[in-house]
Amino acid sequence: MRGFFKPESIAVVGVSPRETNLGRRILMNLHKYGFSGVIYPVGRSGGSFQGHLIYPSLTHIGRPVDLAVVLTPAVTVPDVLRECGELGIRRVIVESGGFAELGQDGLVLSAKALAIAEEYGIRFMGPNGIGTADVHSGLCVPFAEMAKPRPGGVSIVTQSGGVGMQLMMQFEAEAVGVAKFASIGNKLNVDEVDLLEFLIDDPETSQLVFYLESFSRGEEFCRLVASSDKPVIVHKSNTSRMSSSIAASHTTAMLSDDRVVDAALAQCGALRTRTMRSAVDAAKIFSIPPMKGRRVGVISRSGGNAVIAADVCAERGFALPNFDKHVLDLAARHVRAGVIKLQNPLDLGDVFDMDTYKKVLSDIVRQPQIDGIVFLLTYSSTQDPAAADSLVDHIEQIAAKHEKPIVLVLQTWPHETARMKQRSPFPIFETAEEGVEALYVSYRGETHRKQRRARVPKVSAKPETARRLVEAAIGLPHLGAKAFDVLDAYEIVRVPGQVATSKAEAVRLAERAGYPVVMKIESAFAVHKTELSGVKIGLKNAAEVKAAFDEIKNNLFKAGYRPSEFEGVLVQPMADRGLELIVGASRDRDFGPLVILGWGGIVAEALGPPIIRMAPITKRDAMGMIDQLPARGILNGIRGNPPYDVDALADVLVRTARLIADQEAIAEMDLNPVRLYAKGKGALALDARIIPRKESLSKKS
Amino acid sequence: MRGFFKPESIAVVGVSPRETNLGRRILMNLHKYGFSGVIYPVGRSGGSFQGHLIYPSLTHIGRPVDLAVVLTPAVTVPDVLRECGELGIRRVIVESGGFAELGQDGLVLSAKALAIAEEYGIRFMGPNGIGTADVHSGLCVPFAEMAKPRPGGVSIVTQSGGVGMQLMMQFEAEAVGVAKFASIGNKLNVDEVDLLEFLIDDPETSQLVFYLESFSRGEEFCRLVASSDKPVIVHKSNTSRMSSSIAASHTTAMLSDDRVVDAALAQCGALRTRTMRSAVDAAKIFSIPPMKGRRVGVISRSGGNAVIAADVCAERGFALPNFDKHVLDLAARHVRAGVIKLQNPLDLGDVFDMDTYKKVLSDIVRQPQIDGIVFLLTYSSTQDPAAADSLVDHIEQIAAKHEKPIVLVLQTWPHETARMKQRSPFPIFETAEEGVEALYVSYRGETHRKQRRARVPKVSAKPETARRLVEAAIGLPHLGAKAFDVLDAYEIVRVPGQVATSKAEAVRLAERAGYPVVMKIESAFAVHKTELSGVKIGLKNAAEVKAAFDEIKNNLFKAGYRPSEFEGVLVQPMADRGLELIVGASRDRDFGPLVILGWGGIVAEALGPPIIRMAPITKRDAMGMIDQLPARGILNGIRGNPPYDVDALADVLVRTARLIADQEAIAEMDLNPVRLYAKGKGALALDARIIPRKESLSKKS
């Protein structure tokens, strides 16, 4: 990817001297950024612009070119790519629109472009993006005027050029330092994962901001995020059907289940933001020391803002420990006697002596019971700005020295806020709630970094046994009772049960299991047992068992199945009553194997959506899933009953996740229900349905 | 209240020529605002400031004074008030701090001040606020430099001076027009309700913004809000215990249950905002025509922002109807051929011809299937600002002409955004999500205005009968079985039942009711029947009834009750099985009578908090409560069972609300459980507990 950011020579294809020509703007941006390499404008028109000769074609340049930027009509792009290939240009940015977002013709063009790229070993970015910028090297090739933030550590990857430009404007306005920018548009060839991989190792990049309308290789994306210590902020839009139509025409983004996206990003430790502002605030907070604990000190000149800050602290589970007495005494000496009660939040009322603030802050940041500070500084235009400047510099120093975050919320006149933001890269927030929220973002990022390395536990299992069973069933509707053997291979506790092919055998199995028993139709073709009236419960004696055997068999035939499709009847003992949940697993197009937890029984849907994670998962992940269940309180045991065995449930989740992750031949599966008992009494899968792939993977690819 | 905003003469008490004197700043603000009346500075020091003679005391002025502003130490305030009283000054603003927020001494001072005010018929604002401003009359008396927004229709009432000043700064920056400002601090005498009442009738005020840390007379506040067509925005902070300590020291605000506040504000139609930004955005959107339906047109220059806008539209239940073809054709003529797919959202790509935008907007705003427009305008600093200016003016005109909201989201360079905000009062938003959110706020406000006049239905009831029953029980722990007669008086359907004082009578009643029956202890002193083992269910015959009678009686005595406290046993038939809910009612200190709905049975708490409304309520309110129940889906009937009789449940809610509202002698009550049956089969109260006030109201007040 380096070639997209540090080229020494660039060809810009599609330049003409015409006023309205967009290629010209690319040259203007390179000029604005002070690009130090060589620029070769290319355009049929010929002529010159900004003193650059405009070459009629790439071939006419006759010198080596590191990067070609193409802004010609879509139909011409394949030829330009081929020309690049012939000339040995291996990095190309295609800013032209009119590809896949236009349906059939576009798809043909895209296919052509990909084939040519493959043929010549070209990596290209786009089409339908605005390309790259590098604030450090002075590269900037978008075709619309680009903001120029100060050089720094934030790198931006965006599908939409418009949103990308807006982020750059915001970062310039907020004085957030930027390293690299890439707008990948339709990401036909280079996608977000290529860039993530590169930027994680890029020394100039300390944190990443993504704006995505779809995921390519989501599973890989999450793996990389989890592998890195750099904060990754993701604004994933296109969450609704309504958006997807425009997104499709815009960057051919597909709509993927937003709950899966949510779960996957949370799990790998990416911070998902839902607004432009929160993305910018996150980038700001990640530029100062992280919040390592939950204990906040709030210092304010306005009682009202202290109240608002404390509200958000409470919402976010932050504590406000008392300050050591000496700092309160110190403050007391400067506060209008008796007007203010001193505590945390510390309301300094209308004290306005910058030195007092410095002293108070230096003292509080040192106190061990404080992990981070929110400082709400209100002042009016009559104030001496120099004093405020030195206060901010002081804050920056002590925050760095004590490695604690100090969130400065500045409440003054807009022009003064703007001035303060520009004079130093130390982040400045504008409202109490945004300041505390930012601190919470920092805290979450930090806790995640700590937990990140929690390894996925070794699960005792016989994967080979399971693989044989599943692969033998490829193409069949489901595994039937063999699903239980797969569960056994992964030591997922389930109700015993055996298949009887005759009435006599059914009775034998029933006596062995002990009455009452349950009987279920066994047939690779009968996936929905209940709908086929293929399930009988509470059978108390041999007579009932025999009758049930016949009835189940006949119901199958009544439903139009052939005798050859009847494989017998599964006989199981009745399980004790308990709480019912459903544990499922499936595969997502973008994010791969998933494990799913939901309530069972008749109120399942009413209670809310199931909880999702990417498989495999750790015990901690499993506990997290359980805690996210709607009405989770039920698990604590109701009306004095003992709590339920959540550890056993977690174990089922961990093993099921491991199973779907190991066994690629499984398309989806569910344990429905899993019956959960009181602490120490475990959990039990009463039924299991495993649906294999339609065809073996080898055939598939 | 008028006297607090339109005085012709002001005395400012607490002025000295000293640099650090805060009183001087009040004079500076009056000067900045261009106050046209007469100002009399008062201060022991004497001397002069800004050419004003400083009078040694109010008495020395010797001329009529409409309004006195006091900024002297707390201890001196009572004397100053008395002096005002003697001089016939009836409006006073006390900006001094150090009252109730300082505990005991403060309380004494406060009591004194109130007594003096009463003696002389003085209304005073504060203490511990920063007083009033009136942008139209040029009044401005805070002791810190105040922003000066353009004159307009937004009036602000705030407890915290700091938050108030910040709002004024924001409104100045956003060019939101302001009418009046009042910081009421501890609101010892003048409170938010006094101001609400005044501002609702104030012709200069078109909408209200409140920042409150506590409610005084919340019930009255909500009644007034509901009575007015003016939008009321409320930022109520101090929602957590952590905040309440600082709030207490800050403005003596008490913490009230935030769920009650939420319910009450939603019910009366106030818009509760949780951030400064959303309060300002709301004030902005209420300054343009309201959103009358759910159908939005999105027009954007950036596909990415169109996607983000569409996401929020979907979240908020907005529809994006197709535009009429001719507007798409019109657009097509100006779009880079083929790059953009035309639809709603309409992505105009890099068209930048202001006239095209004017044409497209004029056309779309006219289309009947569109209720409002979000226009995402991106442009760079190379653009001709004059063109943008005329576009904004055009938007303002067509929005007004067609009475539809057009939300302009401007995405350009910060200095240009600032310029655009200042040049016209037409609101400008900065992100797609905030723009759509504002439109949603407008829509909610409008729907509420439409529903507001839904009258509280006449409920057929015998209030007098109920009153006699309840008042007879005042001082007793509860009404016992007489609660059922109160229910009957309000036609709340309940299980029949009569009290037997002897075994023989119990059997007679049981036979009449029909077996099986339920028996419950009857005693005004036994509030918690179950805990006393005072309930027996499913009694199948006379023998069981007799046994139960003795057992219940003995259990009562075992629990230490005296024979005189045994009043018999309630005999009821067993009710059919059904879904169990709890309907309750109580009184909130701030918001008066409340009606409460929650799930019954053992998972009640696990499912989530109960739903609250201020009583009385309409059928629509009741339906709203039911729809807010967690896991409300259960009521739709599960797994093919018929839906439950929500109308019957709504009827119980409406009648219970009416009951608590009518019967002031009831402290609290609950119907636990209310059993709900399938549609058409009704709802049935199985038990009722009514707890009367400890003492009659007359004695109380």
Query: Rounded to 5 degrees, what are φ and ψ at A231?
Result: -60, 135
A278 touches chain B (CB under 8 A): no
- Nearest CB among A74, A160, A169 relative to B304 is that of A160
Residue B701 pLDDT grade (very low, low, confident, very high; cuts 50, 70, 90) = very low
Kindly tell me if the per-residue pLDDT of A699 is higher than 50.
no
Write down the pTM of the prediction.
0.91
CB contact under 8 A, B242 and A413: no
B174 touches chain A (CB under 8 A): no
DSSP H/E element including B109:
helix B104-120
CB contact under 8 A, B160 and A22: no
Closest of A137, A166, A140, A136 to residue A151, by C-alpha = A136
- Choose from B301, B307, B530 for mutation: most chain A CBs within 10 A: B307
Closest of B275, B297, B301, B323 to residue B434, by C-alpha = B275
> Each residue of B391-450: pLDDT tens digit?
999 999 999 999 999 999 999 888 899 999 999 889 999 999 999 999 999 999 998 887
Closest of A306, A13, A8, A288 to residue A134, by C-alpha = A8
Looking at residue A351, its pLDDT comes to 65
Residues in A closer than 8 angstroms to B22, CB to CB, are 350
Residues in B closer than 8 angstroms to A603, CB to CB, are 631, 634, 638
CA–CA separation, B419 vs B389, rounded Å? Answer: 10
CB contact under 8 A, A159 and B304: yes
When comparing pLDDT for B350 and A553, which is higher?
A553
Kindly tell me if the per-residue pLDDT of A10 is higher than 50.
yes
When comparing pLDDT for B653 and A379, which is higher?
B653
A400 touches chain B (CB under 8 A): no
Residues in A closer than 8 angstroms to B74, CB to CB, are 338
Average pLDDT, chain A: 90
Kindly tell me if the per-residue pLDDT of B590 is higher than 50.
yes
Looking at residue B337, its pLDDT comes to 47
Give the 3-state secondary structure of residue A422.
helix
**How near does any CA of chain A get to the CA of B582, in Å?**
16
Residue B104 pLDDT grade (very low, low, confident, very high; cuts 50, 70, 90) = confident
User: At a CB cut-off of 8 Å and minimum separation 6, what does A32 contact?
Assistant: A140, A145, A146, A148
Average pLDDT for residues A619-626, to the nearest whole number?
93
Helix axes A241-251 and B303-315, enclosed angle (nearest 10):
170
Q: What is the DSSP string of A343-377?
A: SSSEE-TT---HHHHHHHHHHHHH-TT-SEEEEEE
> Each residue of A396-452: pLDDT tens digit?
999 999 999 999 999 988 889 999 999 998 999 999 999 999 999 999 999 888 776
**How near does any CA of chain A get to the CA of B639, in Å?**
7
Looking at residue B584, its pLDDT comes to 94
Kindly tell me if the per-residue pLDDT of A253 is higher than 60.
no
Average pLDDT for residues B62-83, to the nearest whole number?
95
Sheet arrangement for strand B131-134: B139-140, B131-134, B178-183, B151-158, B207-212, B232-236, B271-272
DSSP H/E element including B552:
helix B542-558
> Each residue of B482-523: pLDDT tens digit?
999 999 999 999 999 999 999 999 999 999 999 999 999 998
Residue B695 pLDDT grade (very low, low, confident, very high; cuts 50, 70, 90) = confident
- Choose from B19, B212, B246, B315 for mutation: most chain A CBs within 10 A: B246
User: A with B: how many residue pairs have Cβ under 8 Å apart?
Assistant: 269
Closest of B114, A281, B30 to residue B106, by C-alpha = B114
Closest of A323, A317, A363, A367 to residue A342, by C-alpha = A323
Kindly tell me if the per-residue pLDDT of B456 is higher than 60.
yes
Looking at residue A340, its pLDDT comes to 58
Average pLDDT for residues B324-343, to the nearest whole number?
74
> Each residue of B547-575: pLDDT tens digit?
999 999 999 999 889 988 899 999 999 99
The tokens describing B387, both together, are 């063109």
Longest dimension (CA), chain B: 100
Among residues 480-539 of chain A, which lie with CB inside 8 Å of chain B?
none
Looking at residue A700, its pLDDT comes to 43
In sequence order, which ranges of B427-528 are alpha helices (DSSP H)?
432-452, 463-472, 482-489, 503-513
Among chain A residues, the shortest Cα distance to B96 is held by A339
Residue A502 pLDDT grade (very low, low, confident, very high; cuts 50, 70, 90) = very high
DSSP H/E element including A108:
helix A104-120
- Which ipTM value was assigned to this complex? 0.89
Looking at residue A410, its pLDDT comes to 93
The tokens describing B265, both together, are 């504000």
Among residues 302-361 of chain A, which lie with CB inside 8 Å of chain B?
302-308, 310-311, 313-315, 320, 336, 338-341, 343, 345, 347, 349-350
CA–CA separation, B370 vs B293, rounded Å? Answer: 8
Kindly tell me if the per-residue pLDDT of A98 is higher than 70.
yes
CA–CA separation, A504 vs A500, rounded Å? Answer: 8
Average pLDDT for residues A223-242, to the nearest whole number?
90
> Each residue of B222-239: pLDDT tens digit?
999 999 999 999 999 988
CA–CA separation, B185 vs B521, rounded Å? Answer: 52
Kindly tell me if the per-residue pLDDT of A356 is higher than 80.
yes
- Nearest CB among A166, A240, A275 relative to B314 is that of A240
In sequence order, which ranges of B453-541 are alpha helices (DSSP H)?
463-472, 482-489, 503-513
Average pLDDT, chain B: 90
Please give the radius of gyration of chain B, using alpha carbons only, rounded to the nearest integer: 32
Residue B700 pLDDT grade (very low, low, confident, very high; cuts 50, 70, 90) = very low
Residue B386 pLDDT grade (very low, low, confident, very high; cuts 50, 70, 90) = confident
Residues in A closer than 8 angstroms to B314, CB to CB, are 239-243
CB contact under 8 A, B303 and A242: no
User: Beta partners for B585?
Assistant: B595, B669
B555 touches chain A (CB under 8 A): no
CA–CA separation, A575 vs A518, rounded Å? Answer: 9
Average pLDDT for residues B318-340, to the nearest whole number?
79
> Each residue of A134-161: pLDDT tens digit?
999 999 999 989 999 999 999 999 999 9
Closest of B583, B576, B579 to residue B644, by C-alpha = B579
Closest of B188, B176, B376, B191 to residue B283, by C-alpha = B176
Looking at residue B699, its pLDDT comes to 47
Residues in B closer than 8 angstroms to A214, CB to CB, are none
For tokens 């049956």, what's the residue?
Answer: B677
Give the domains, in start order, of chain B with CATH numbers: 1-124 (3.40.50.720), 149-287 (3.40.50.261), 292-450 (3.40.50.261), 512-573 (3.30.1490.20), 579-700 (3.30.470.20)
Between A282-291, A603-612, A663-672, B332-341, the lowest mean confidence (pLDDT) is in: B332-341
Closest of A281, A235, A277, A225 to residue A258, by C-alpha = A235
- Nearest CB among B306, B381, B608 relative to A246 is that of B306
A43 near A72, Cβ under 8 Å?
no
